[in-house]
């Protein structure tokens, strides 16, 4: 299993997320961090994008997923982001953090951190 981690840090998107009526009507800021565990040795040796995990493609897909979603829970959004990384981009293991800044008074943000592998999505 890959020991290396390709990161996407502080990806800020606007999404409909939450259980309250006002959260269903207005988009809110959602902060996403992703650590995709994969083997980067080939890319490190060849310096060829074909041997690398294309983080730009991952980011575009995650943005489209988040902005097009209407999940109630950050847990569900995190799960779907993990699914995309594993199933669509072949990542061996992924850690996903999803936060809602300012969701709780006196807290900078609230959110979840999950880790998933391909086994978690086996049908």
- Which residues belong to the active site? 100
- What does the block give as tokens for 71? 């999940």
Nearest 10 degrees: CA dihedral of 22, 27, 33, 34?
A: 110
The answer to whether 13 touches 66, Cβ cutoff 8 Å, is yes
């Amino acid at each position: 299993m890959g020991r290396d981690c390709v990161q996407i840090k502080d990806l800020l998107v606007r999404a409909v997320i939450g259980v309250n009526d006002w959260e269903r009507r207005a988009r809110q800021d959602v902060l996403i961090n992703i650590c995709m565990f994969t083997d980067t040795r080939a890319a490190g040796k060849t310096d060829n994008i074909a041997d690398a995990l294309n983080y730009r493609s991952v980011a575009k897909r995650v943005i489209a997923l988040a902005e097009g979603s209407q999940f109630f829970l950050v847990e569900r959004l995190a799960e779907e982001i993990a699914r995309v990384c594993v199933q669509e981009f072949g990542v061996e293991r992924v850690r996903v953090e999803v936060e809602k800044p300012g969701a709780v008074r006196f807290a900078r943000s609230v959110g979840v951190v999950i880790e998933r592998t391909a086994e978690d999505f086996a049908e």
